[in-house]
A and B are shown apart, each in its own frame.
Chain A
Amino acid sequence: MFARRFLISFPIFAIVYLIQESIVSQFRIFGGGVSLFLIFALLWSALGTPELGALTGFGAGLLMDLSQTTSGPMGQWTLIMILAGFSISYLGYGDDNFRGNPISLVVIVAIAVPLTRLAYLIIGLMFGSELGSILQIFISLVSSALWTVAVVPLLMPFVTRIHSALFEAESRG
């Protein structure tokens, strides 16, 4: 049952991935732009169980690794996203006050997005990637947090509805 529902959520991720790669990537906005897919994946993970979060992170990370714009080795985003998905869902798991509060979700995702990117950067350094300008990295991380704060309230109604429609029975069970 769990696996079936997880598989049903895959087309949703594929659509969001397609939107990210084909539409959102066309917009060159302040701070390096916004990663709709990353925000969506972390928000989705935050609403589920830690197992679901880890699985969501795995699937999302695999898709992110498939992107042509990814510079790191295949599996790097997968590793980061497994840990990020698991961590973000673990933080709010069992605390309905936390999950029921939209502001908490916005804040946790807004913190998680730059932290995930920072973790990707650090792991990338271990694999021999170039660091670049520290100031530029700082601006990019801060602006990604700000963009997340702006985007999550817009995404949240859709994500929570779809998520609850798919996993409500599982969560209750």
Chain B
Amino acid sequence: MRNGGDNRGRLLLISLIVTSLFLITLDLRGVQVIDGLRSGSQTALSPVQSVAATVFRPVGNFFSDITRLGRTRGEIEKLTADNEKLRQSLINRTIADAELLELKSVLDLAGIAKYRVVAAKVISLGSTSSFAQTISIDAGTNDGVKENMTVITGLGLVGVVKKSYPNSALVQLASDSAFRVGARVAGSQQIGILSGQGTSKAVLQLLDNQTTLKVGDVILARGSQGNRPFVPGVPIGEVTSVDNTAGAVTQTADVKLFANFSTLSVVAVVVGSPKSDPRDALVPKGPIPIPVPTVTIYATPSGSPKP
């Protein structure tokens, strides 16, 4: 040791080292005073640290971002891609939920009537250049779908299979102006022919001029021979207005079709039907009337005023 190598210096160094070793020993033996020193210093420092954090953390974050610039950019790109994927999956999930709901309702309908059905997704809404109202579905002859089979949704009749391919089929919608179906009125069992009009409404012409129709009557498919093209009992629509023109040979009525053709996504093709006619079992249940509370007020005459 050069100039610092005197005994005093050595003694100081040794005593400091011994002190530090003493501190270590005390700490390792779990002496409370040592722990108290550290926690006490932290207690004193923490208010200053919290103020400094408020003031300097944005600056610190700025420097941190600079040093992590490449990684941050990569992270942003990754998060953007993840976000896009999640958004897409959310949309898909929403679509799937809607389809599931439709499928559930169509299966419920088919279950009541004991129809054997093949579920199918609508893959195309037909040609916009022609006037025919059709849809394409993703089920075809490979799935047992043949021409002249009834197509339904949870709400009722959609149409009839016009062409069948191995993996797809073309369905003529009930709203098509060339569409005709034998129909009957639920309850009264009057029969007639329902014709599409190119809109969400169709026209029902009764065959018997002795019967009468009224607004709100539910129209069902009458069924064809051998259940093709139409199975019996499928709900078609509801009478919205009746033509009571004097001198008319038969009564006609406007029918609002149950199926919503603009939002079709899942349908079912009836590939088999029970031998028995479900009759009116598929008539949609009307809305449950909400009871209106009634309040009775009893007027009690007050005593006659005294003069």
Contacts and interface: CB of A to CB of B under 8 A. Distances in A.
Given A18-B48, A54-B13, A74-B34, A28 B24 contact: no
Interface in A10-46: 18, 21-23, 25-30
Interface in B45-62: 45, 48-49, 51-53, 56-57, 59-60
B4 to A, nearest CB: 4
A28 B16 contact: no
Nearest to A83: B17
A93 B4 contact: yes
A116 interface: no
Given A26-B59, A51-B12, A74-B26, A79 B48 contact: no
B16 A55 contact: yes
A22 B24 contact: no
Given A58-B19, A74-B24, A93-B3, A27 B63 contact: yes
Contacts of B4: 49-51, 89-90, 93
Given A74-B23, A76-B24, A78-B19, A68 B42 contact: yes
Nearest to B48: A22
Interface string A73-95: 11110110011001001100110
A75 B57 contact: no
B2 A94 contact: yes
A50 B1 contact: yes
Contact of B28 (A21, A57, A73, A79): A73
A67 interface: yes
Contacts, number: 110
A61 interface: yes
A86 B5 CA distance: 11
B97 interface: no
A127 interface: yes
Contacts of B48: 18, 21-22
Nearest to A73: B27
Contacts of B24: 73-76, 79, 127
A75 B49 CA distance: 24
Contacts of B64: 27-29
A8 interface: no
Q: Is the interface of B mostly helix, strand, loop or mixed?
A: helix
A58 B1 contact: no
Contacts of B19: 58, 78
Given A58-B19, A68-B42, A23 B67 contact: no
Contacts of B37: 66, 74
Contacts of B21: 75, 79
Nearest to A22: B52
Contacts of B16: 54-55, 57-58, 82
A58 B67 CA distance: 34
Contacts of A74: 23-24, 26-27, 34, 37-38
Contacts of B34: 74
Nearest to A53: B4
A21 B8 CA distance: 34
B52 A26 contact: yes
Given A22-B52, A86-B13, A127-B28, A75 B3 contact: no
Contacts of A93: 2-4
12 contacts: A22-B53, A23-B56, A26-B52, A50-B1, A51-B13, A54-B9, A54-B13, A58-B19, A66-B41, A82-B13, A82-B16, A93-B4
Interface of B: 1-4, 8-9, 12-13, 16-17, 19-28, 34, 37-38, 41-42, 45, 48-49, 51-53, 56-57, 59-60, 63-64, 67
Interface of A: 18, 21-23, 25-30, 49-51, 54-55, 57-58, 61, 65-68, 70, 73-76, 78-79, 82-83, 86, 89-90, 93-94, 127
Given A58-B19, A79-B17, A79-B24, 7 more contacts: A21-B45, A22-B45, A26-B60, A49-B3, A66-B41, A78-B19, A82-B17
Q: Which 10 interchain pairs have the tightest Cβ spacing?
A: A75-B23, A50-B4, A22-B52, A75-B24, A79-B20, A74-B27, A73-B27, A78-B20, A66-B41, A26-B60
